[in-house]
Structures are given as C-alpha cells and as structure tokens.
Structure 1
Amino acid sequence: MLKNYLKYLLAGLFFGFVLVKSEVISWFRIQEMFRFDAFHMYGIIGSAIIVAMISIQLIKKWELKDSTGTPITIPPKDSSQVVRYLAGGTLFGIGWALTGACPGPLFTLAGAGYEIMIVPIVSAILGTWVYGLLRPRLPH
C-alpha cells in the first residue's frame, strides 16, 4: 500500500522543487505581482492555465480514469453563480495577498523552513473544518 503512494510523494516533492526554483514561493515575487511591477508571476500563472486547458481537453478526449478506475468527469460551471465565484475569488485573493502565498506553496514554504507558514496552514485546515460543519446550512 505504501508503494502505491510513493509516486504521489515523489510528484509532490518534484512539484515543491519546481515551486522553489521558479520563485513562486517568494513573497517578494508575489508582492511584485500584486503591485504590477513585474511579469514573472503572470507568466507562470499563464503557463499553468495553458497546461490545465490542454490537460482537461486530453482527459475528455481520452476519457481518462482516476487512480481507482473511476472516469474523470468535469461538470460545467453554473453561470447563475457568478456572484458566488467572484466572492470566493476575491476572498482567495485577499488571503493570498495577506499571507504572500496561495494554498499550494504554503506547504513548500513550511518545508523550506518558514515556520510561520504553519499559521495559515492551520487556519486553512480549521476553515475547511468549519465549512464542513456549516455546509448543510449554506446555499449551494
């Protein structure tokens, strides 16, 4: 069983290495982006969007399955939920600007020795737990 998870651990380590080397975890680079002082982060985000678009098209074309054999399905976005998407995106952006990191690099930053990143990691976990408690009462 542990052997099955080894490939995911290696993929995560590789992804963390790429984040460090591309300076995506650099607080300076993130602030530079939010101040519109440099193209660096926009180029990386744009590249990620292109890779994601191609990947989604390949998943659909080849009808790929996940690791358990279940077909991967990507439901369309509900266009009537625009306000919800804008609110969520705005909240995400505010958190990103305040911490200097989006959720993925938080773990990379903690692993790179920035112990203060434990605070947003614990906060994100706590927020997810609170959402799980409130989800039945929220409009979906």
Structure 2
Amino acid sequence: MKGLKFILAGILFGIVMSKSEAISWFRIQEMFRFQSFHMYGIIGTAVVLGAIAVYLIKKYKLRDFQGNPIVFTPKEMSVPRYIIGGTIFGLGWALTGACPGPMFVNIGFSYWAIFVAIGGAIAGTYMYGVLRDKLPH
C-alpha cells in the first residue's frame, strides 16, 4: 500500500499527458516545425508551475515523505554541457516523436513501436554511464 500514491500519481500523469495530446508524435512534430503553439503552451505551463512549486518549497521549507528537508543544490553553468546535452535530447525527441515521460504513456495506449524509442533511451543512458568520466561536466 506504500506505493499506492505513486501509482495514482502515474495514472494522473498519464491522463494529463493523453488528454493534453502531449503523447502525440504529430503534436511533437508540429512543435519542431514551428507550426503550432500547442506543445509550447504545455511546456511553458509546466515551467511556470515548476517555478511556483520550487518557490513554495523554499518559502515554507517543505519536507519530503520521510521528513527530510528538500534541498536545491546550485549547479555550475557549463554552456557546452547544456548545448551538447540539449542537442542530443532534442534530436532524439524530434526523431522518435516522444520525450521520456510520455514514452511510457504510449505503452498504455498499445503503441508498441515506442519500445524502439525506449530501447534507444536505455542504450543512451547506458552509454552516458560508460562515457561519463570522459564527458564535459
């Protein structure tokens, strides 16, 4: 029963992703071709809500489920790191028509071809682990 809240959060996430059409490869292609504001609106809303959530977490010094304080550690801004990583992520997103979260929602809709994208994501994550010490951080 401990994991029930996470299952419910996942179900809610899947419903929001499907109802907002964020799992649609067509909507993602529209975004990368600058043909529609739809996905930019979804992403912009997520950024604003995330900023509000972080503000509230910091202001009220909220704690996680185990009672530990939630701490945000600043990262060093490394421009090449973000350009290279963002380019790889964006290319994968554009080529597959799926980003990591909605990929799993697509499984729920029986879009079995998404397993190719998931396999690529897993392989990319593995390669990052192998090459991590050689990459700019």
TM over 0.5: yes
**In the TM superposition, what whole-angstrom CA distance separates every residue of 1:20-76 from its partner, at most 9, and x where no partner exists?**
011111111111111111111111111111000000111111122222322211122
Supply the distance in 1 between the matched residues of 2:117 and 2:66 (Cα, whole angstroms).
Answer: 31
Other structure's SS at 2:23 match: coil
Aligned structure 1 segments of 4 or more residues deviating by more than 6 angstroms: none
Are residue 127 (structure 1) and residue 124 (structure 2) matched?
A: yes
Q: Give the RMSD, CA atoms, in angstroms.
A: 1.4
Q: Which runs of 5+ in 1 are unaligned?
A: none
Q: Which residue of 1 aligns with 2:10?
A: 12
Q: Which has the higher helix share?
A: 1
1:135 maps to amino acid: R
Q: Can you give the 5+ residue segments of structure 2 that lack an aligned partner in the other structure?
A: none
Distance 2:121 2:68 in 1: 28
Counterpart residue number, 2:46: 48
- Tell me if structure 1 keeps the 8 A contact 2:18–2:105: yes
Q: Percent identity?
A: 58
- 1 or 2 for the larger relative contact order (CA 8 Å, sep ≥6)? 2
Alignment match, 1:106: 103
Residues matched between the structures, number: 137
